[in-house]
Structure 1
Amino acid sequence: MDRIAQYLLAGLISIVALSQFVQVVTRYFLQVPVMGLEESILYPTLWLYILGAVNASREDTHIRANVLEIFLKTRRQHTILAIVGELISLVVGLWLLYWAWDFTSYAWRVWKESPTLYIPTFYSDVALMIGIILMMIYTVVHLSRHVRKLSVGSQK
C-alpha cells in the first residue's frame, strides 16, 4: 500500500509539473497557449492535494500544535491526549464526510462539465469524498493503536 501511494503521488506531481512546464514554454516562449491545459491540470492537482492529505494521515505526520504535551509528564498522559485528539478528529471527519456525501451526490445528479474541454467535474469532485473516507479509516487505525497502547501500559 505504501508503494502504491508513493507511485501515485509521484505520478500526479510529475503530471502537474510537466503540464506547467509545457504551459510556460508554449505560452511565454512560443507565444501559443495550449487551450484547456489549465483546465486539465486542475484534475490531477486536486487529486494530488487530497491524496497528499490522505498520505499525511496514513503516515500520521499531520502538522500539530501539541501545546498540552509540554505540561504532561507521563507516557500515559501523552497517550490519553492522543486518544482525545483522534476522537475529536474522528467526530469532525465524520461530520465532514456527511457534507462530502451531500456534495458528491449533488455532483453526480447535476453532472457538470468543464467549460472548455467538457470533462465531467464529478471526477474531481469525488476526490473529497474518497479522501475523507480514507482519512477516517486511518484515524480509526491510529485510534485503535493508541487504545491498545494505553491498555497494554495499564496492565503492567
Structure 2
Amino acid sequence: MDRFSKYLLTALIGIVALGQFVQVITRYVLQIPVMGLEETMLYPTLWLYIIGAVNASRENTHIRANVLELWLTSERQHTVLAIIGEVISLIVGLWLLSWAWDYTRYAWRVWKESPTLYIPTFYSEIALLIGLTLMMVYTAWHLWGHVRSLAKGSVQ
C-alpha cells in the first residue's frame, strides 16, 4: 500500500503540475486559453488532496497542535492523550463520513455533469467518501495500536 500511494500521489502531482504548466503557457504566453482545462484539472486536483490526506492519516503525520504534551511528563500520559485524540477523531470522522455518504447518494441520484465538457462530476465527488472511509480505517488502526501498547504496559 505504501508503494501504491507513493506512485499514485506522484502521478497526480505530475498531472496537476503539467496541467497548470499548459494553462499558463497557453493562456498567458500564447494568448489561447484551452477550453475545459480547468474542468479536467478538477479531478486530479481533488483526488490529490484527498489521497494526500489519506496518506497523512496512514503515516500518522497530520499536523497537530499538541499543546497539552508540553505539560505531560510520562510516555503513558502521552499515550492516553493520543487515545483521547484518536477517539475524538473517530467520532468527528464518522459523523463526517455519514454526511459524505448522504452526499454521495445525492451525487449518484442527480448525476451532475461539468458545464463545458459534460464530464460526470460524480467521479470527483466520490473521492470524499473513499478518502474519509480510508482515514477512519487508519485512525481506528492507530487507536488500536495505542490501546494495545497501553494495555501491554509497554509505555511508562
SS at match of 2:65: coil
Q: Deviations over 1:3-56 (max 9, x none)?
A: 000000000010000011011111111111111001100110000001110000
Structure 2: tracts of 5 or more residues without a match: none
Q: Is this contact kept in 1: 2:76–2:155, CA < 8 A?
A: no
Deviation, 1:154, is: 6.5
Aligned mates of 1:113, 1:126 — CA distance in 2 = 14
Provide TM-score, normalisation by structure 2: 0.97
Residue aligning to 2:39: 39
1:61 is paired with a residue of what secondary structure? coil
Counterpart position of 1:131 = 131
Residue-by-residue CA offset, 1:52-91 (whole Å, 9 max, x unaligned)? 1000000000000111111111111110110000000000
Paired position in structure 2 for 1:27: 27
TM-score by length of 1: 0.97
CA distance in 1, matches of 2:70, 2:41: 43
Aligned to 2:80: 80
Q: How many Å separate the matches in 2 of 1:28 and 1:99?
A: 40
The 3 A distance-change label for structure 1 pair 3 and 154 is closer
Task: Flag structure 1 segments of 5+ consecutive residues without an equivalent.
Answer: none
Partner residue of 2:53?
Answer: 53
RMSD of Structure 2 on Structure 1 (CA): 1.3
Range moving further from structure 2, 103-112 or 67-76:
67-76
Deviating 4+ runs (over 2 angstroms)? none
Aligned length in residues: 156
